[in-house]
Amino acid sequence: MANLSEEKLSRRQALKYLGVGATTIAATAIAKKGVAHHKAPATQRLAMVVDLRKCNGCHTCSVACKAEFEVPLGAFRSWVEIGEEGKYPMVKRMITPKLCNHCDKPPCINVCPVKATYARSDGTIVIDENICIGCKACISACPYNTRFFNEVKRTADKCDFCLHRYENGVVPSCVNGCPVSARTFGNLGDVNGEVAKLVSKHQVQVLRPELGTKPQVFYIIP
């Protein structure tokens, strides 16, 4: 597996991200390579772990993602939901970063009439923009509401684990941008890798496990 190390954003850089409109932030200089039908080792399963003990809801991941992909205003490939639970004075702030779950049993694939959505051999769910007709069937089928219709591209859109970065040996923009290192990305199939170790060591949860979609984005709960 490629070396996923990359320098974290400094505090100054993170504040710069948060203080500038997403539409004015320059996109990454890394060339975005085609990722369709990429072949990966059979033992490779890309996944992400989000440590909710560390996440402070700063939204740097959301802004970094919007800048990376020039996501239109009002839409998100990755975002953070913040709410509250409990009764005063015992109120708890709930922070939940969200993105495509890259499910092992994704309901979005079978509904696509032109097979524009498919699973790579490393388990990542992607959309072939050259095939997508923008029918929005996959958007309706996703029970996590992680897909949206890109009004600029006129296609369905969502997180793809920043495959253009991964294939150049660097971590996704949301992972690199997180100032508290709350996100970890890598190969779940590598028992000696950081992702596999976190999943085995900590009590983790996935979103809506009752659906049986087997999400590959795991949350370490506080």
**pLDDT tens readout for residues 132-150:** 999 999 999 999 999 999 9
Q: What pTM did the predictor assign?
A: 0.79
Please report, for the chain, the start and end positions of each structural domain, with discontinuous segments joined by +. Answer: 11-220
pLDDT tens digit sequence for 172-182:
999 999 999 99
24 SS3 class: helix
Tokens encoding 182: 């709350």
- Res 188: pLDDT: 96
**Nearest-5° angle of CA 172, CA 22, CA 96?**
55
Provide the residue count of the chain: 222
Residue 82 to residue 56: CA distance in whole angstroms? 10
Range name among 2-6, 48-52, 59-63, 185-189 with the lowest pLDDT average: 2-6
Q: Which fold has domain 11-220?
A: Alpha-Beta Plaits (3.30.70)
Integer CA distances (angstroms), 68 to 30, 160, 172, in order = 10, 12, 9
**Under a CB-based contact definition with an 8 Å cutoff, are residues 55 and 219 in contact?**
no
